[in-house]
Structure 1
Amino acid sequence: MVNENMKKKMQAAVDAFKEELIGLRTGRAHPGLLERVSVDYYGSQTPLKQMANIVAPDSRTLMITPWDKSAKDVIIKAITVSDLGLTPVNVGEVIKVSIPTLTEERRLDLVKHLGAESEKTKVGIRNIRRQELSDLKAELKEKLISEDDERRSAAQIQKVTDEMVALVDQITQQKEKELMTV
């Protein structure tokens, strides 16, 4: 009796959380680090991944090969001004980005940020639950469902909410472990 739309909304919140974590640096190079970098390309903001091939040849380096060689300078500028703290270098046909090792202080800051994002996601999930419960109460008040149906549905909604919150906690613990590994 649990609304499938509610599950989809909660799953969307978890998916958005996962997307947010892709850009969280762990000290290892992976193309997802540059996922949210947008380049001012001929007057419009274009995602970097639509302008270049991004590969990680090793754990400390990203290599960016722009499809339009004349866009190298704007790509370098976009990466430099992003909040990632990375410094790209023009190396002939490609742009090389070295990933510096994270300091202990930076790791702790990232874990704190991770906790805040995790909590924001959980609040979003709980807000979806609150709305569903409110809708249930309205249906009960209008006598569209019985009290037993309302209690059963409320228990199912709580079960799905608990599962989603547990999933967020699991993802958070996994990422925290990744961040704290030197």
Structure 2
Amino acid sequence: MDNPTDKSLGPPAPAGIPHRPGNSRLLAMLTAAEHGILYLVSFALLALAVGILALMTLTIVQGGVSGAEKIIIILEELLLVLIVLEIFVTVQTHLEGGRLQLEPFIIVGIIAIIRHILSVVVRLTIPVHPAESRQQLTELAIYAGSAFILVTALALTRWSRRRPTPPGTALPDEN
């Protein structure tokens, strides 16, 4: 029930919670604290991405690894940077007032699984005991299945956002 004499700021309190002027100030303080923490997290994520690139470069320059191993290291570290940047973009979207989205987390999961698949593939190139080789192949199959599930989830997420085409309307690529 609206009271024309009510001069309180902010949204009405949920049912069962009395609205007090202090609640609006407390909510504003909590929101400011949340934004402050999110800005700190953003800077930390950028610093982490730069640090990963710096350590990758240092490892490649100093390391006594073969050319193929260098390529795998570079690929794995760049994928890790992509994960960090995807989380950074998610935080930035939230700071800009956007809602938390499922899609970036699915993408991070896909990239992380690809990193693990690369790691297993590299380990499979090294001769080991047959039992350990079977374990690595099982691990590879589980990662591949997980990647398939996440890619399916990503496709479903994107499909669910599509707007239905009204009946009788031609699709853009139809003549």
Greater relative CO, 1 or 2 (CA 8 Å, sep 6+): 1
Which of these two proteins has the greater Rg computed from alpha carbons? 2
Greater fraction helix: 2
